[in-house]
Amino acid sequence: MRSPSHRRQFVANKLLGNPEVSVEALKTMRERALSQDKWCAYQNHAMDSAGLGDLQFLQIGPGRTFTKPPERMPDTIHAIGWRYLFVGFVNLETGQIEESA
């Protein structure tokens, strides 16, 4: 059995469909981004969910709560994130979700 240190880092799950980052979300991410920050994209992969395919975003980087993308969207006071799986990083220039970075 492998130790946890042998786990691959930044493994993105497959994007479902062709989701688009909303103009409002992209504007907010651009305004809040610092030079070393990245924005992670998480997509709802729960097949029994009415929100299947929906996106959520998490800012990571030095001085942030997370410096590496968690496998699943962290729980917040507003929602439980287990349905949302890491699918890639948001390219702030193009607005596209890149499955590897």
What would the pLDDT profile of 16-66 be if each residue is shown by its tens digit? 888 899 999 999 999 999 999 999 999 999 888 888 999 999 999 999 999
pTM of the full predicted structure? 0.82
**Residue 85 belongs to a domain:** yes
Q: Is 6 part of a structural domain of the chain?
A: no
* Whole-number pLDDT of residue 5: 47
15 in a domain, yes or no? Answer: yes
Domain that holds residue 84: 11-98
Q: In this structure, is residue 38 part of a structural domain?
A: yes
Whether residue 48 lies inside any domain: the answer is yes
Rounded distance, CA 64 to CA 53, Å?
26
Strand partners, 89: 40, 98
Is residue 3 assigned to a domain? no
Tally of domains in the chain: 1
Q: Would 63 be classed as within a structural domain?
A: yes
Residue 95 — very low, low, confident or very high, per pLDDT cuts 50/70/90?
very high
Residue 61 lies in a domain: yes
